[in-house]
Amino acid sequence: MWPVLCAIMIQPVTVFPVALTCGSSKPCNLDFLNDTIRELNDILQHGIQYEEFKIHVTLKSIVCDAPARAMVKATKQYSGYYGCDKCTQKGVWYGRLTYQEIDNIVLRTNESFRDQIQEEHHCGVSPFTALPVDLIKSFPIDYMHQACLGVMRRLLLIWIKGKKETRITQRHVEEINKKLLEMQQFVPSNFARKPRSLLEIDRWKATEFRQFLLYTGKLVLKGSLRGDLYAHFMTLSVALCILVSPRLIQMHKGYAHQLLVYFVKRGRELYGNEFLVYNVHSMLHLAEDAGWFGSLDVCAAFPFENYLYKLKKMVRSGKNALSQVVKRIHELENDPGEMKPAKFKKIICTNKPDNTYILDDSSCCEAVALSHQRDDEGNQKILCRVYNRTESAFNDPCDSKIIGVYQINTAKSYMKFIKKSDLKTKAIMVHSRSGRHTKILAILHEF
């Protein structure tokens, strides 16, 4: 099934299908996009009339995985010699196509793309050229496919199945698995999945690679992955933590880019030239895209992937899959509960592991009990256990406090009523086996 899905980027994000095609292989041409492009063009130029209101519409981004992006842009695939859709460098063959240039990169522009300045990049004319959009900026790198399912998965596979020099010993893999399973009790229920062992890596979903990349990996790899490989992984992890956070990206976008440049360069030293495949190379373009959109989650495939999963579940038998889906969508329009996004839950939970919050750079708390007390402005007060004097949990590649990772002493706490509105930044609280070193990690991405 090849659906064209649309998301209205107003919270909570709503996803709906605008076109559906079905077949035993990928579409042989782009005709299935024609109606969508025509309609989009009309909407972008004239807006939508709703009763007496005229609603102005802009196209924020077109989100695809790399193969689909090359298809709809009518360009070479990422595995071809001029396949990077952001820069003009020619790939180099090291058993597979890699992109070795890091510092002297010539970026593509909307104009150079439309004029097909680098002929080798193009296979035809993209139907999207009919739209008044920037054909480079409007097609962001999708971090779900490229960072989570791409680079993070690749690193894990190198560590557990790769060359002997950079492989983790069996004993250390078992240690990591044990730590991942212990982590289950600490991961809040906002996360769709609890951590699973690396034995099940072939079944890990994109959200599990994201959870590892942004949060659990930092903790479970420490001491089990070789020091230099761990330091290298941390540069990727910290950079992504910055780029998924709308707040951090404003302050540290440049730093995140420097980290990613270092990640790619150092990756070549540690894992060889063949490490710089397209997904790894695309990390050089990630900060630019994330900065343009405000954070990585604004232009990621996660909400579409969720919807796709629901669409697939609508097919009950192999016959006439398309009509089954269309019928089911119509039914749901009358009973929309299932397809609508979950409403924002601003409920404060007082049970572990859902009750940890960051208050500021030097303190965090656990919500313990709700109270009926309100202050003069009507804010509900929550009884909290406050931990002051938080410390940095690590200092390489930067002070961990920058990305909201702290170490606390749980023996030193006090109770205090805190305004509900001050409990904004939810966090993960992880106790060590000895119970002496408790770590707090701010949840930075959007669910």
Stretch that binds Zn ion, among 77-85, 198-206, 215-223, 396-404 (CB under 5 A): 77-85
Nearer of residues 139 and 204 to Zn ion, judged by Cβ? 139
Nearer of residues 71 and 87 to Zn ion, judged by Cβ? 87
Nearer of residues 191 and 293 to Zn ion, judged by Cβ? 293
CB of 253 to Zn ion, least distance (A): 18
CB of 158 to Zn ion, least distance (A): 22
Nearer of residues 84 and 296 to Zn ion, judged by Cβ? 84
In three-state form (DSSP H/G/I as H, E/B as E, the rest C), the secondary structure along the chain is CEEEEEEECCCCCEEEEEEEECCCCCCCCCHHHHHHHHHHHHHHHHCEEECCEEECCCCCCCCCCHHHHHHHHCECCCCCCCCCCCECCCCEECCCEECCCCCCCCECCHHHHHCCCCHHHECCCCHHHHCCCCCCCCCCCCHHHHHHHHHHHHHHHHHHHCCHHHCCCHHHHHHHHHHHHHHHHHCCCCCCCCCCCHHHHHHCCHHHHHHHHHHHHHHHCCCCCCHHHHHHHHHHHHHHHHHHCHHHHHHHHHHHHHHHHHHHHHHHHHHCHHHCEHHHHHHHHHHHHHHHHCCHHHHCCHHHHHHHHHHHHCCCCCCCHHHHHHHHHHHHHHCHHHCCCCCCCCCCCCCCCCCEEEEECCEEEEEEEEEEEECCCCCEEEEEEEEECCEECCCCCCCHHHHCEEEECCCCCEEEEEEHHHCCEEEEEEECCCCCCEEEEECCCCC
What residues between 327 and 386 interact with Zn ion by CB under 5 A? none
Stretch that binds Zn ion, among 29-37, 43-51, 76-84, 293-301 (CB under 5 A): 76-84
CB of 318 to Zn ion, least distance (A): 41
CB of 91 to Zn ion, least distance (A): 10
CB of 69 to Zn ion, least distance (A): 13
Nearer of residues 84 and 367 to Zn ion, judged by Cβ? 84
Q: Write the interaction track for Zn ion spanning residues 219-238; mark x where CB under 5 A is met and - where it is not.
A: --------------------
Nearer of residues 174 and 288 to Zn ion, judged by Cβ? 288
CB of 299 to Zn ion, least distance (A): 17
Rounded to the nearest 10°, the torsion over CA 138, 139, 144, 145 is 180
CB of 268 to Zn ion, least distance (A): 15
What residues between 106 and 135 interact with Zn ion by CB under 5 A? none
Kindly report the backbone phi and psi dihedral angles of residue 212, in degrees, each rounded to the nearest multiple of 5, phi listed first.
-70, -45
CB of 277 to Zn ion, least distance (A): 12
For the chain, what is the largest distance between any 2 Cα atoms, rounded to a whole number of angstroms? 68
Chain position carrying tokens 């940095």: 392
Stretch that binds Zn ion, among 79-87, 117-125, 201-209, 422-430 (CB under 5 A): 79-87
- CA distances 233 to 226, 245, 270, 396, Å, are 11, 19, 11, 11
Nearer of residues 86 and 253 to Zn ion, judged by Cβ? 86
Stretch that binds Zn ion, among 80-88, 164-172, 353-361, 381-389 (CB under 5 A): 80-88
CB of 144 to Zn ion, least distance (A): 19
For Zn ion (CB under 5 A), the number of binding residues is 3
Structural contact between residues 323 and 13, judged by C-beta atoms closer than 8 angstroms: no
Nearer of residues 105 and 332 to Zn ion, judged by Cβ? 105
CB of 244 to Zn ion, least distance (A): 21
Stretch that binds Zn ion, among 78-86, 134-142, 246-254, 404-412 (CB under 5 A): 78-86
Instruction: Give the CA angle between residues 265, 266, 272 to the nearest 5°.
Output: 90
Q: Write the interaction track for Zn ion spanning residues 81-100; mark x where CB under 5 A is met and - where it is not.
A: ---x-xx-------------
Nearer of residues 276 and 441 to Zn ion, judged by Cβ? 276
Nearer of residues 86 and 196 to Zn ion, judged by Cβ? 86
Q: Write the interaction track for Zn ion spanning residues 26-65; mark x where CB under 5 A is met and - where it is not.
A: ----------------------------------------
CB of 281 to Zn ion, least distance (A): 6
Nearer of residues 86 and 445 to Zn ion, judged by Cβ? 86
- CA distances 259 to 45, 101, 233, 309, Å, are 40, 16, 10, 34
- CA distances 211 to 50, 155, 299, 427, Å, are 41, 15, 18, 13
CB of 210 to Zn ion, least distance (A): 23
Nearer of residues 76 and 86 to Zn ion, judged by Cβ? 86
Name the residues that contact Zn ion, by CB under 5 A: 84, 86-87
